[in-house]
Structure 1
């Protein structure tokens, strides 16, 4: 295998000397009000806790353990500086339809991670992971659950939000004590939370695309059901991020500025119906999302969806029954492609430690892939249809 050398580029020498700047422009040496690490990383001595550390490869700076600086921490989901109360809070995992009849979606540009996977009908559905949701009135439209989304949400310790479910495959799972579920009270939901949902008039739209999650009602439901708002001691962050002021460049990796999870032709792998793709913009280092020949936008702000990283996670899939309900293996191991900084890093994913731990991503040499700070879009690729994946 060709060894791909990871390099981190210091954006400015003054940043390298100071290690990092906070999101508001203050240096890390600003007075620390409180020192906090991920629950599984807390150490006895504050002097041992560093926000950013250097790996064994000289010059490669990453975020490892977290500090609280002026009331802010670096997010476990994006690496960016956010209010501490936001960073330590369990995120929301919200089921959102992605078919043309539902567009545009509302509030989705505020998600830190978007997970996309095929469903029956051979289209995809999104699960958006939100940590910044206090300023949102509502999110949606909201759609029903499939078990592989629930298993994925459990890896983030997320509060799982859905309207409906594939009952034969989801009922037992979604009602477990280990799943913090906020759902409309349909058949198969044992602890309904109807106060979190309502309908918004959308003339010309089918009724199934008019249901929304309302944040005030969600918060009331979480409190009523007695769910925990903060990560527990077993929380494991999914990504390792480049430190503030640095970029994971992967200069020896292959260029990939246009990436298509389902290619350009119709196919039954889930991505062939609307042919989504991402285009990398080197000016802002972001990937712009397109679908069905158009920009995919957020109705809330009319902005095109953008992310800093895109992941193709290859999973074995099966058709379960005559209704075309699908199953995907989101535990175990598989191949993966990680796109960041206009490059593609070939590697693998692994999730071997149970439901409560997310998959990790590794390069061909077995090294954990370093992500650039910002939002990430993860496409579950049906392995049996992997021939349709394209990038250039």
Structure 2
């Protein structure tokens, strides 16, 4: 069945946009994942237009789930959110489509939280972006929402063509919550910002999605532990058909519960500067290849990942070299250090 990645745009060059989208079509087995339809998306923000009656069934770029009804005109929005206990409670995660977790200084982590199908009113606390975000955001041409960044990082993201909206740059929607402590008190009224964004052009899929529900994992994986150095470990438990981050900094009612957790092991290099406390600032190398684990339906599949450039999507293969598609749904990607001293992964 031909599944076409569509994003509605109010730009005049509609014919050219559709041609570009058609070139990005995926041939996937099955007829969709009706149980988790994103039909409620327009309720949570974003103007939209109806899909063509003659178009092939469309799917959301960040979930692979069927698009029913209208699609937003805004591009995917990627909010950089703190992931330490100082961020409690994190806001907005429960309405995300996809989240990646990346290493920052001190062995701690930061989240890149992708919103497309639903735009929450409140997100945060918003923190600074990193050079690691170039390869994480560019595949879907997302707009990064950030407090700011080091000068060298801003220069690199601009050179890479990454669009970002920052508090330092005076973007709409930011405010300081007086009940929180700085710098963990910068919050964002995300819908206010989205109203200011230019209409979206075509967006390719973030992952190679499968809509038939098939998954070749065989090893039990109802408990996962992803350790990012000595500073942070993300723990997962398979409950009720989804994975639950048991040590999340979000309120239990507002947590992101992915259908799939992916762990990729990547190289780490210096980002080219030290933080204000003099700590090494790591940069995750998300191009090339490495080991990968895919967790879905309480099972694990070990294989490899590859990504040929910052704008390329993540691709996965199993141990035999066969391409692996990711089950359609919500996904969390752990971007972990390759060095075992810096990051360990265990599951059972």
* Fold match (TM-score > 0.5): yes
For Structure 1 versus Structure 2, the TM-score category normalised by the shorter chain is 0.7 to 0.9
Q: Which residue of 2 aligns with 1:317?
A: 268
- Residues 148-177 of structure 1: CA deviation (Å, up to 9, x unaligned): 023311122101110021323x12123347
8 Å CA contact 1:193–1:221 kept in 2: the answer is: no
1:144·1:164 contact (CA, 8 Å) conserved in 2? yes
Select the residue among 22, 28, 37 that pairs with 1:42. 22
Q: 2:19 & 2:189 partners in 1: Cα distance?
A: 29
Say if 1:357 and 1:85 are closer, same or farther in 2 by CA, change over 3 A. Answer: farther
Partner of 1:215: 190
Alpha-carbon contact 2:78-2:144 (below 8 Å) kept: yes
Aligned to 1:151: 135
Distance 1:327 1:53, change over 3 A: closer
Match for 1:255 among 212, 220, 230?
220
Aligned to 2:105: 120
The residue number in structure 1 matching 2:314 is 359
Name the SS of the counterpart of 1:229 in structure 2: coil
In 2, the alpha carbon distance for the partners of 1:389 and 1:102 equals 24
Deviation at 1:238, TM superposition (A): 2.6
SS in 1 for 2:237: strand
Alignment pair present for 1:200 and 2:156: no
Cα 1:126–1:336 shift into 2, 3 Å: same
| 8 Å Cα contact 1:150/1:174 also seen in 2 | yes
CA distance, structure 2, for counterparts of residue 367 and residue 306 of structure 1: 28
1:348 equivalent in structure 2: 304
Unaligned residue ranges in structure 2 (runs of 5+):
2-16, 34-50
How far apart are the structure 1 equivalents of 2:323 and 2:83?
Answer: 31
Question: CA 1:127–1:69 in structure 2 vs 1: closer, same or farther (change >3 Å)?
Answer: farther
Q: How many residues align?
A: 312
1:368 corresponding residue in structure 2: 323
State the shift of 1:70 in Å.
11
TM superposition shift of 1:89: 4.3
Asked if residue 236 in structure 1 is aligned to residue 191 in structure 2, the reply is no
Normalised by the length of structure 2, the TM-score is 0.79
Aligned partner of residue 172 in structure 2, secondary structure: helix
- Separation in 1, partners of 2:312, 2:26: 22
Matched, 1:289 2:241: no
- Aligned twin of 2:157: 174
User: In structure 2, do the counterparts of structure 1 residues 366 and 288 end up closer, same or farther at CA, with 3 Å as the change threshold?
Assistant: same
Task: Return the alpha-carbon distance in structure 1 between the equivalents of residues 194 and 237 of structure 2.
Answer: 36
Indicate if the aligned counterparts of 1:315 and 1:328 stay in contact, CA closer than 8 A: yes
What value does the CA root-mean-square deviation take over the aligned residues? Answer: 3.2
Matches within 5 A, 1:23-172: 40-42=20-22, 53-54=28-29, 73-82=58-67, 85-86=70-71, 89-134=74-119, 136-168=120-152, 170-172=153-155
Cα separation, 2, equivalents of 1:95 and 1:387: 21
- Unmatched 5+ residue regions in structure 1? 1-18, 20-36, 44-48, 55-59, 186-191, 223-227, 263-268
Q: Please say which structure displays the higher CA radius of gyration.
A: 1
Pick the structure with more strand per residue.
Answer: 2
1:242: Cα distance to partner? Answer: 3.0
Are residue 306 (structure 1) and residue 283 (structure 2) matched?
Answer: no
SS at match of 1:173: helix
